Amino acid sequence: MTEQADRADGGSGADAARVLGGIGTNVIYEDDKVRVWRLKLGPGEESPVHRHDLDHLLVQVSGDRIAVIPEPDTQGPFTEMLEADVVPGAVVHVRRGGVERARNVGSLPYLEVIVELKESVTKEAGPTPAEAC
């Protein structure tokens, strides 16, 4: 996991540079198509501010309540703070562009797996095997 330097002002220099953290606690698998992260947060704990440069799948494993707290310059689907119940086994596809942090707003430890998709999942990526026949 590496930290990224970013400009909150789009690079104009008006604001101080910020340092972005990783999108999870640690990388548990990576190949040329996916990068898989584990995110563990204790009750009340927050992740660092991070940017999602890739579409990804969120897989909720355990916990009771989680919140996403977007930054003002986010380009992701969440533009306001959102709290939600954790549904173990739930999988959500999220488009790239989010600049945010996660906060465990529950009373139980939170665990999720994040699967970053290094290749686009759009139709432009080519035909599916069924379409190629």
Residues 96, 55: contact at Cβ < 8 Å? yes
Name all contacts of 67-72 with Cβ < 8 Å and 24+ positions apart: 67/102, 67/103, 67/104, 67/105, 68/98, 68/100, 68/101, 68/102, 69/100, 69/101, 69/102, 69/103, 70/98, 70/99, 70/100, 71/8, 71/99, 71/100, 71/101, 72/8
Question: In the predicted model, is pLDDT for residue 51 greater than 90?
Answer: yes
pLDDT band at 67 (very low <50, low <70, confident <90, very high): very high
pLDDT band at 120 (very low <50, low <70, confident <90, very high): low
Phi, psi (rounded to 5 degrees) for 119: -115, 145
Q: Look up the CATH superfamily of 23-119.
A: Jelly Rolls (2.60.120.10)
**Mean pLDDT (the chain, rounded):** 84
- Domain coordinates in residue numbering, the chain: 23-119
Tokens standing for residue 119: 């290749």
- Does the predicted model carry a pTM greater than 0.85? no
Q: What percent of the chain has pLDDT over 70?
A: 77
Question: In the predicted model, is pLDDT for residue 15 greater than 90?
Answer: no
Question: In the predicted model, is pLDDT for residue 127 greater than 60?
Answer: no
Q: How far apart are CA 84 and CA 20, in angstroms?
A: 24
Q: What is the mean pLDDT of residues 57-72?
A: 97
